[in-house]
Amino acid sequence: MRRSKKERQQLLKQKINENPFITDESLAEFFHVSVQTIRLDRLELSIPELRERIKHVAEKQFDTVKALSLEEVIGEIIDLQLDQRAISILDIGPEHVFSRTKIARGHHLFAQANSLAVAIIDDELALTSKANVRFTRRVKQGERVIAKAKVINNEKERTKVEVTSFVEQELVFSGEFHMYRRDLLSEGEKGEHEDRN
């Protein structure tokens, strides 16, 4: 059952609205058309290509990370409101997968989520004390993982961050990170007995 061009373009617009990070390849697969057809559809509808759409989201003002340097974040941060929420993108390349199965290795999904949980903290020091994570769907090489973090509990020096990661709006990973935090600038490092968390 092939859709008419008009139907397809309407649905295409809707799908990109729902998920601005969807690739032309995924759209082509979804609509059973060629990637070239999707590109022409986008041109006719004046929808910019994926890279531009990401840049557009990224250019909206967001906070600066404090607890680590931006290069230390695994994945690319595209939204950040300190102590509230954060989003990052990680494209799964050959360096992230088991050579035999091309399935993404768990510690890379963990690293993306964990570094987002560090980045969300509005303090100079943020360390993970505990994490409970679930890998709910295999992620393959070539897929794009979007991780969303939000602070769900914030007490003095303790913050709980929930991270959910998606490929094409399908949940692939979820985790609860218990973070220890401290304001290094105002307090300075204390004695060794505080060095545990």
Binding site for a second copy (CB under 8 A): 68-69, 72, 74, 98-101, 103, 105-107, 110-111, 114-115, 124-125, 127-138, 195-197
Residue 98 CB, nearest approach to a second copy (Å)? 6
Residue 17 CB, nearest approach to a second copy (Å)? 28
Nearer to a second copy, 38 or 80 (CB): 80
Nearer to a second copy, 54 or 111 (CB): 111
In angstroms, the CA 123 to CA 129 distance is: 16
Question: Which residues lie below 8 Å from residue 6, measured CB to CB, with a gap of 6+?
Answer: none
Helix crossing, 35-45 with 5-18: angle to 10°? 80
Residue 160 CB, nearest approach to a second copy (Å)? 14
Burial of 101 (0-12, 13-18, 19+ CB in 10 A): exposed
Helix crossing, 24-31 with 5-18: angle to 10°? 140
Nearer to a second copy, 78 or 125 (CB): 125
Nearer to a second copy, 55 or 140 (CB): 140
Residue 89 CB, nearest approach to a second copy (Å)? 17
